[in-house]
Amino acid sequence: MKHIINCLVENQPGVLARIVGLISGRGYNIETLNVGPTADPTVSKMTIVVPGDSHIIEQVTHQLSKQVDVIEVVNMTNRRHLDRELILVRVATVNHHTRAEIVDLAALFMARVVAVQEDSVTIQMVGNQETVADFLRLMKPYSIVDISRTGVIAVGRDAPESAAKKG
């Protein structure tokens, strides 16, 4: 199972490297990692997607919350939340018929064509993890030439109840 972990961290040099080292050093994989500023310029928000069972996630969140630069750790997986990922995918087009199929399929996912080349189209799509996976699965037969993904970002829909905060 994939788990989404949000961390609020001090916006200091080396924090990202320490967090990644902590997780990977214990043999856990990071599927996606996204870091960005918050409304407070001294704080950054990290969204980390880690595959594993509940025991692994419990260990990861516990270890993260013990870090000096970490302000708060929240496992979003079993909480009400919104998550999104942005992808840019360049898909080969053999002919005008194929191009039309790809554009129609993109429209079904509310994706948009952002570039058209002679032999391909580039599509921008935003969605949750499941929708992005469905879209890419349907694009595969058309021959994906290139893809860039932002990684998952997430925000809670409820007030935090059991966040691991430092006092």
Which carries the bigger pLDDT value, residue 157 or residue 42? 42
Any idea which architecture 82-153 has in CATH? Answer: 2-Layer Sandwich (3.30)
Query: Taking CA 32 as the corner, what is the angle to CA 122 and CA 49, rounded to the nearest 5 degrees?
Result: 135
Predicted confidence (pLDDT) at residue 162 exceeds the cutoff of 50? no
Q: How confident is the model at residue 137 (pLDDT cuts 50, 70, 90)?
A: very high
Question: How large a percentage of the chain has pLDDT more than 70?
Answer: 95
Q: How confident is the model at residue 158 (pLDDT cuts 50, 70, 90)?
A: confident
**What backbone phi and psi angles, to 5 degrees, belong to 134?**
-60, -45
| Domain ranges, ordered by start, for the chain | 2-78, 82-153
Average pLDDT over residues 147-162: 83
pLDDT computed for residue 94 by the predictor: 87
Q: How confident is the model at residue 12 (pLDDT cuts 50, 70, 90)?
A: very high
Q: Does domain 2-78 have CATH number 3.40.190.10?
A: no
Question: How large a percentage of the chain has pLDDT more than 90?
Answer: 79
Predicted confidence (pLDDT) at residue 164 exceeds the cutoff of 70? no
Render 101-128 in DSSP notation, one character per residue: HHHHHHHHTT-EEEEE-SSEEEEEEEE-
Which carries the bigger pLDDT value, residue 158 or residue 116? 116
The overall average pLDDT reported for the chain is 91
pLDDT computed for residue 26 by the predictor: 85
pLDDT computed for residue 56 by the predictor: 85
Least confident of 33-37, 90-94, 106-110, 156-160: 156-160
CB 38 within 8 A of CB 45: yes
